Amino acid sequence: MPAATVVTGVEETQALAGRTLGTSSWVEVGAERVDRFCAATGTHPPVGPAGPTVPGLLVLSLTTTLMPELLESRGFALSVNYGCDSVRFPAEMPVGGRVRCTATVDAVGVVPGGVQLALTLVFEADGQAEPACVASTVVRRYL
C-alpha cells in the first residue's frame, strides 16, 4: 500500500492544487462483490463481448476504498462526496480483474466552513489499454 499524502487544515490542503497524489494499490473485483453490488442496486451483472463485466458505477464506488491510501486529511470534522462533474467508462473491466486509482488534485477552493477539492480519478484496470473509469469529482472537507 502506498504512503498517503497527509495534510492538516485548510492551508496545507490548498497547497495540493495541481498535484498528483499517486496511485493506489490493486484491488480485485470478484464475482461476489459484483453480485452484492447488483443486488443492492437492483440490477443484473453486465455481460460484454468477452463475458461478465464489472458495473462501471461499482468501479466508481471504489473511490471510498482507494482514496484513503492516497490522501489523509486531518483537522476536519466531516468529509462529503459533493458530486461528480463528469464520469466516463472508456473500457469494460472483466469480473475477477484488478483495479487501482490514480488521483490528481485539479483545484482547491475555500467554501464556508472548509475547503473544496476538485479531483480527477483514473481507475486503471489491470491489463487494459484504456481505463475502466475516469471521473472528475468534488469533495468537501468541513472544519
Taken in order of first residue, the domains within the chain and their CATH numbers are 6-142 (3.10.129.10)
Residue 43: predicted pLDDT = 87
Closest alpha carbon to 1 in 58, 68, 90: 68
In the predicted model, is pLDDT for residue 102 greater than 90? yes
Q: Which three cell numbers stand for residue 107?
A: 483545484
pLDDT of residue 45: 80
Residue 51 has pLDDT above 90, yes or no: no
Look at the chain and count its residues.
Answer: 143
- Cα dihedral 82, 84, 64, 128 in deg (nearest 10): -170
The reported pLDDT for the residue numbered 48 is 77
CA distance between the termini of the chain: 28
Q: Specify the pLDDT at position 1.
A: 64
- Please tell me the predicted confidence (pLDDT) of residue 12: 92
Whether residue 50 has pLDDT greater than 90: no
Residue 52 CA to residue 92 CA, distance in Å, equals 9
Number of H helices, E strands in the chain: 4, 10
Residue 13 corresponds to which amino acid? Answer: T
Lowest-pLDDT range of 15-24, 41-50, 71-80: 41-50
Check residue 3 and give its pLDDT: 80
Q: What would the pLDDT profile of 75-95 be if each residue is shown by its tens digit?
A: 999 999 999 999 999 999 999
C-alpha dihedral sign at 82, 15, 11, 67: positive
Instruction: Write down the pLDDT at residue 100.
Output: 97
Q: For the chain, give the mean pLDDT.
A: 93
